[in-house]
Amino acid sequence: MINIIEFKKSNCKNCYKCIRSCPIKAISFNNNQAKIIDDNCILCGNCLKVCTQHAKSVIDETEKVKKFIEKKYSVYASIAPSFPSAFKSHNAKALFSAIKKLGFSYIQETAIGAYAVSMEYEKLIKKCEMNNIISTACPVVVSLVEKYYPVAIQFLAPVVSPMIAHAKMLKHTYGENIKVVFIGPCLSKKKEYRDGENDYLIDAVITFDELKKWFEDEGINLNKFQDENIKYDEPLIERYYPIVGGILKTLDDQSNYKLLSVDGLENCMETLDSIVKGNINGYFIEMNSCRGGCINGPCNTSKSFIEAYDDILNYASNKNTISDLKDIKVNVNLSKFFCNREVKNSIPDDESISYILKKIGKFKKEDELNCGACGYSSCREKAIAVYNNKADLNMCLPYMKEKAESISNIIINSSPNAILALNSELYIQEANNSVYRIFNIENIKLAGKNVFEFFDCPDFVIVMDTGKDILNKKVYYEKFDVTVEQSVIYVKDHDAIIIIMKDITKEEKNQEQLNKFRRETVEIAQRVIEKQMRVAQEIASLLGETTAETKVALTKLKDTIVTKMGESE
């Protein structure tokens, strides 16, 4: 099975916006990643419209079409009647000429297929055999009924869509070997043509957005294209198909049914609910999944709704290029068979739901906020999705916020260090418990105060101005008689400052006492040394005098002895 919508994992940012926009919750979210549940998806395209992260893309078959052209196939374009709403040029001939420039052999409006479909609708209305008739031009509506309202399959008009009808007519007229490429605003057409019942009728589908990209790649400017040789052979009234009520315009007002137009999936689902309950009878209902009709399709993104609507009206009212309706011949089978493809989710019992809810802190009814942030309309609906492995417990934003705040508060307030958070203007945003304890600040709320009212340190300004951290610097706050080992850290993403202060007052005072003791010891030692030196000097002085006297006495004695010895000789 080919995935029509593809995800870019790196772009999916846990916003749950696509889940909120999905009317049938065909998107699962596991391991921080959203994923389309293909069997559940009806390809309405809402998730594409709302995704601001560009995490989703549509499978592009432009290259496939280029290969058809390169291989010299006869490539026929069936272009949806909403095309005037997609392109800036008001000249359809310019658009048709530009498409031919790309290598297409022939271009024709799908409105011809819509004419054939309307004829089939008229037959059903005249037979008056169905209690209600739901139009089947929109493949999203068909998928919605087959998968989520199978009881209402009996009310689907057993008629193919204009795209399929036109493809059958083209191949019947020009041969089975031609390649038919549908060009339109609809995402679901990429899936419809792969339906086994439609094999080989449509060979590729490209969107208006993809066609515009192709023009850009080839350097084609529609405003510079004119080709008066292009002929129109499509009917008039079927050009209204892409706007609300467009199908009804093609039907006989004097029908046996009440005519009703319903657009937007929410309205379609509400109407189907009423049909299933038996509250609606005798209606022919034109259903379109896109609010405002096909001109608001997910792959038609160039204009505002009003501009698109006006362009359709202007083009559809142009009577100068219309062929006679009687010239159009329909010689193909346009019947359609629908299948029950019901999507079944397991519905847990109340005990299982309660167990899941308790895991995300919802112990009583009041805890169920039903905020819808996770994408589900209620906490119980989200719990059922978790049970079916379509959602994560952690998708509950209030619970995760509370949990994150609880954990962060535990961590921050359990820290023995003082922690301050300052904004770009150096006002205190947060202060943990240790700030109040270390600086003995009582009955004062620091949040919202200028940091310099309490902590006079120029490092805060320096770090904010330079964006460079100052780490592990010893700072003495005289006002509090507190010494800290301080780190001032700049948080670029938030243009804020985090201050972490380790209280080293006691260590500093102990160190000061130790230093004082050492100084006193040194002073005592110095005094002892000095005293000893004086004693040594005094002793040395005394020894010097005694030695000199002894020397004199001994010298005299020696001289006397020597003299006496001389005399005796």
Residue 217 phi, psi dihedral angles, 5° rounding: -60, -35
Would you state the CATH architecture of domain 345-401?
Orthogonal Bundle (1.10)
On whether the CB atoms of residues 283 and 258 are closer than 8 A, the answer is: yes
**Pick from 260, 271, 239: nearest CA to 118:** 239
Give residue 234's pLDDT. 47
Reading the chain (569 residues) residue by residue, the pLDDT tens digits are 567 887 777 677 778 888 888 999 998 888 778 888 999 999 998 888 888 777 788 889 999 999 999 999 999 999 999 998 888 656 778 888 899 999 999 999 999 999 999 999 999 999 999 999 999 999 999 999 999 999 999 999 999 999 999 999 999 989 999 999 999 999 999 999 988 776 678 999 999 999 999 999 999 988 777 655 555 544 468 888 999 999 999 887 777 899 999 999 999 999 999 999 999 999 999 999 999 999 988 888 777 888 888 888 888 876 544 344 444 557 889 999 999 999 988 888 989 989 988 888 888 888 888 888 888 888 888 899 889 888 888 888 777 777 666 666 777 778 899 999 999 999 998 899 899 999 998 778 898 899 999 999 999 999 999 999 999 999 999 999 999 999 999 999 888 999 999 999 999 888 888 888 788 777 887 887 778 788 777 776 776 666 666 666 666 666 666 565 555 55
What secondary structure does DSSP assign to 285-334, as a single string? EEEESSTTBGGG-TT--SS-HHHHHHHHHHHHT--TTPPPGGG----S--
With vertex at residue 485, the alpha carbon angle to CA 511 and CA 413, rounded to the nearest 5 degrees, is 120
Give residue 320's pLDDT. 43
Give residue 322's pLDDT. 38
Please report, for the chain, the start and end positions of each structural domain, with discontinuous segments joined by +: 60-327, 345-401, 415-503
What 3-state DSSP class applies to 262? strand
What secondary structure does DSSP assign to 214-228, as a single string? HHHHHT--GGG---T
On whether the CB atoms of residues 321 and 171 are closer than 8 A, the answer is: no
On whether the CB atoms of residues 132 and 153 are closer than 8 A, the answer is: no
> In angstroms, rounded to a whole number, what is the distance separating the alpha carbons of residues 291 and 285?
15
CATH superfamily of 415-503: PAS domain (3.30.450.20)
The residue with tokens 């086994």 is 196
